[in-house]
């Protein structure tokens, strides 16, 4: 158990070191277009709520395991909203692909969360993203509390619960 905990801490620290972010850093606000609805979405729309951001691109590798985990998070915290639970929003930000390709991937993999178009938006720089994919959890106060390339459902759920307090 101690080895697993130590490994988890090292993974989290390496993820933050790679991206240059630290727990407690203020999350950069943004306004991006939703690939499906074509409406704009801003991080500030989710004030006082936990936000899980997934920065991604269409891939054939290990990143394909993230959407099912995020879909489980969406289902876990879906309406009707249970007041005992944290209000959570999952937003995916595609940083590389053309809108049609990103939307096709999302529909083909049944994403249950918005696909925001972040190509040429400056968000990779603002969030210091050096590798994709990246999952970042932002607490209800707007601070970054967690970052990882490939999330584990149980760990992500615990982080979300803590972030909502």
Neighbours of 42 (CB within 10 A): 12
Segment 128-158, tens digit of pLDDT: 999 999 999 999 999 999 999 999 999 999 9
Segment 43-75, tens digit of pLDDT: 999 998 999 999 999 988 777 899 999 999 999
pTM of full prediction above 0.75: yes
Segment 67-105, tens digit of pLDDT: 999 999 999 886 555 555 668 899 999 999 999 999 999
What 3-state class would DSSP assign to 3?
helix
Q: How far apart are CA 141 and CA 143, in angstroms?
A: 6
Ramachandran angles phi, psi of 83, nearest 5°: -60, -20
> Cα dist. 59→44, 52, 94 in Å?
29, 20, 11
Say which residue the tokens 């760990």 belong to.
155
What 3-state class would DSSP assign to 94?
strand
Task: Work out the end-to-end distance of the chain between its first and last CA atoms, rounded to an integer number of angstroms.
Answer: 26
The token duo for 118 is 């972040």
Domains of the chain: 2-163 (3.40.30.10)
């Amino acid at each position: 158990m101690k080895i697993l905990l130590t490994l988890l801490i090292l993974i989290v620290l390496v993820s933050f070191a790679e991206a240059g972010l630290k727990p407690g850093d203020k999350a950069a606000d943004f306004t991006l277009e939703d690939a499906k609805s074509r409406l704009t979405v801003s991080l500030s729309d989710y004030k006082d709520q936990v936000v899980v951001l997934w920065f991604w691109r269409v891939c054939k590798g290990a990143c394909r395991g993230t959407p099912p985990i995020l879909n489980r998070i969406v289902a876990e915290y879906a309406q009707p909203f249970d007041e005992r639970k944290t209000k959570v929003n999952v937003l995916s930000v595609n940083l590389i692909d053309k809108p049609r390709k990103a939307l096709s991937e999302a529909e083909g993999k049944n994403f249950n969360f918005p696909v925001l178009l972040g190509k040429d938006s400056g968000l990779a720089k603002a969030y210091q993203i050096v590798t994709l994919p990246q999952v970042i959890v932002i607490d209800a106060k707007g601070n970054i509390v967690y970052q990882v390339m490939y999330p584990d459902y149980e760990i992500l759920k615990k982080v979300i619960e803590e972030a909502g307090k």
